[in-house]
Structure 1
Amino acid sequence: MHLDHATSVTSDLDATRQFFVDVVGLTEGARPPFGVGGHWLYAGGRPVIHLVDSNLPHHPGRASPRIDHIAFRLDGGDEWQALLARLEAAGVAYRTADVPLSGEVQLFVALAPAVVMEFVTAARNVRRASF
């Protein structure tokens, strides 16, 4: 079993798409014609992030925007360093934390509106910082 995708319902579709494409490094790809605004963003040929416009008629019982956080696993130190460079170049604030007993490092980005991104790596000797 693996994470198939996460859906973010957002009031700023363009800014959210730009963050995932320009900073995270996903690519926009094919999306079925659902009849509502949105984007499907791909990593490794798979649509991992689905963005949906929250400026749609409200569905009772469904908060909008919504998602607590989404986590991506980065495989190595080079990928980690490249992410840090893109975040800093884009002026995106982040913080890192060590996962107790695991040797893993987490990086958190507060993505407006109200979505937190987490990136995790088990790579050794990666930079821990806040920006």
Structure 2
Amino acid sequence: MQIRKSAEDYLEAILMLSKQGSAVRSIDIATMLGVSKPSVSHAMKLLREDGYIAMDRYGTVTLLDKGAEIANHIYERHRVLSSLLERLGVNPEVAREDACKLEHDLSDESFDKIKEYFLRNISEIE
């Protein structure tokens, strides 16, 4: 499950946008990530070619199983890390930004221990 950080960001954004209940389109992804539409188009092409997403003729983006697995993995890391940082007193916006940095580089072992500690001592992930 080794892919680039930027691809993980795109997959996570697609997941988060899909949780809002409406169809996910490239413009929504561009807005959420603060990138240009051509950048999103290029990323969607690569993700589609690698079997992470599907796009219909209307431009609606859907995660395929392989993409959903990665997106859920990254999103869980983001939620746990940002919640933990906020509980430690970090400003929520800073906590979200720092979680974005940490979620990609933290080893599975370290993340699992953080999550275990968090759940044992705090018991609620926001």
TM-score band by shorter chain is under 0.3
Q: Which has the higher strand share?
A: 1
The TM-score with structure 1 as length reference comes to 0.26
Q: Which has the higher helix share?
A: 2
